[in-house]
Chain A
C-alpha cells in the first residue's frame, strides 16, 4: 500500500468553473477526512466519512461544495462555481477507526488556484 493518494496534485481553474478532486485512502481504513489549508494556517476540517456515510460537515462546506464516498472506497470533493477564495490546498486523510490510537494518514494534497 502506498498510502493516501490524491489527484491531481495541482489544479488551476478559472473563476466560475467546477472542479473535482479525488482521494484514494489506505484500503483498510474506514474513515476518510477532507481538510482545507490556506497559506500560513493549519488545516481546517471540512467533512468526514465512515465507510460510505458522510457523518459530519463543517460550516466551511458551503452549498457549492459536495463530497461523496461511493462504496466506502475512494472519495471525491467537488467545488461548483469556484471563487478566488477557494484557492487553497485540499488535504485528504484516512484512519482505521475513530479512537485515539488510530492516527490519521494524510495525502500530499491538491493545490487549487482559482484565477
Chain B
C-alpha cells in the first residue's frame, strides 16, 4: 500500500473546527483513503473513507484533493471526546486481502 504522511500532533480549541491533513503523493487510482481514530485506552474506531468524492457522515467529513495526493479529515466542532490519535490509511480497492496498515497518526489535543 502507498505511504501516507501526517503531522505528529495538532491542537484545537473546543467547539472549533479541526482540519487534519494527510499527504499521499504516491496514491494509486484504486487506493481508497480510510480514517480511523484511537481514543485513549481503546482500540481504533472507523471514522470515514472515500475514493474520489468528498464524503460526509455523522462523525466527520473527508475532503479529497482533485489530484488525490492529499486529503483532509474535518471535525466540524471539536469536543473534548475527540482527543485521540487519528490515522490516515490507504487501502487498495483491488486487494481485499490486504489488511489495514497503520502509521503513527496525528495526536489531536482539544483544549477546553
Please list the residues of chain A having a beta carbon within 8 angstroms of any beta carbon in chain B: 4, 33, 35, 40-45, 48, 55-56, 91-93, 97-101, 103-109
Contacts and interface: CB of A to CB of B under 8 A. Distances in A.
Interface string B25-49: 0000000101010000111111001
Chain B: interface size category: 20 to 34
Contact of A106 (B41, B43, B85, B93): B43
A27 to B, nearest CB: 18
Interface of B: 32, 34, 36, 41-46, 49, 51, 85, 87, 91, 93, 96-97, 99-105
Contact of A100 (B42, B91, B103): B91
B44 A55 contact: no
Nearest to A102: B96
A33 B99 contact: yes
Interface centre among B32, B44, B99 (most CB of A within 10 A): B99
Given A42-B87, A48-B99, A100 B32 contact: yes
A41 B104 contact: yes
A107 B105 CA distance: 19
Contacts of A100: 32, 34, 49, 51, 91, 93, 96
Contacts of A108: 41-43
B104 A44 contact: no
A100 B99 CA distance: 10
B96 A98 contact: yes
A104 B100 contact: yes
Contact of A55 (B45, B49, B51, B97): B97
A56 B97 contact: yes
B100 A45 contact: yes
Nearest to B89: A42
Given A33-B99, A108-B41, A103 B93 contact: no
Contacts of B99: 33, 45, 48, 56
Contact of A109 (B43, B51, B93): B43
Given A56-B99, A97-B96, 14 more contacts: A35-B102, A40-B104, A42-B102, A43-B102, A44-B102, A45-B100, A91-B43, A93-B44, A98-B97, A99-B96, A100-B51, A104-B36, A106-B42, A106-B45
